[in-house]
Amino acid sequence: MGDNNTTDWSIGIKFVQFQKNSSLHAGIRRSPYAAMYGCEAKVGLTSSLLSDEVIQRMQCEDGLLAVLTTGQNGEELGPVPSAELAEVHFDMECASPENDLSRKENIIAQRKGARTRQLAQAERMVKRSRIDLAAVEPLDNAAVPIPLVDKGRGDPKNILGVVLERDQNDMYTIGVNAGVLKAKM
């Protein structure tokens, strides 16, 4: 977008969205596109069912239209009046009930794998937070943050207090110089 000197960011947003959805997600160990649709995102002719030698022979759109009207092996498939119809014709050629069933099974497997990886990631995050944010005991010192709406520019960010009590849900009653705080932390 910066090279084109344009401020219309909506032009490039689809490319950004595609890049985000087709890149590897570290948590689920697959792309979000693959987790949703059961296969990797396909872009261009190299991800189509056309053989590599047929793709290499094509020089322009007319070559693609020629392949779609005559087929890869040279058999006559009939005329294709426009590129839009050629695309629909090509996609319909690849559909089959057996292919559809295996695709659905693959989608289910990918989603199940993504869910398993996401649960494992959540468990690691909870374990890490329990280590980093260890429970404190009564009579330990605590720094209680002061909300932005309740303080001025020169006021401190925190107020120091002492933990008086801890309940079964790890909620703490904290005492400060002015008394006991009403809210549990």
Residues 158-172: tens digit of each pLDDT? 999 999 998 888 889
Tell me which residue range forms the domain holding 156.
141-180
Q: How confident is the prediction for the chain on average, in pLDDT?
A: 79
The whole-model pTM stands at: 0.48
pLDDT of residue 164: 94
Domain match, 120 and 172 both? no
Domain match, 88 and 157 both? no
Distance of CA 67 to CAs 76, 116, 153, Å?
Answer: 10, 43, 71
pLDDT over 90, % of the chain: 24
Domain match, 128 and 164 both? no
Hey, how many other C-beta atoms are within 10 angstroms of the C-beta on 30?
17
pLDDT band for position 114 (cuts 50, 70, 90): very high
Over the stretch 74-86, which tens digit does the pLDDT of each residue have? 555 444 444 444 4
Q: For 145, list phi and psi in degrees, rounded to 5.
A: -70, 140
* Contact between residue 54 and residue 63 where contact means Cβ atoms under 8 Å apart: no
* Mean pLDDT, residues 56-62 taken together: 77
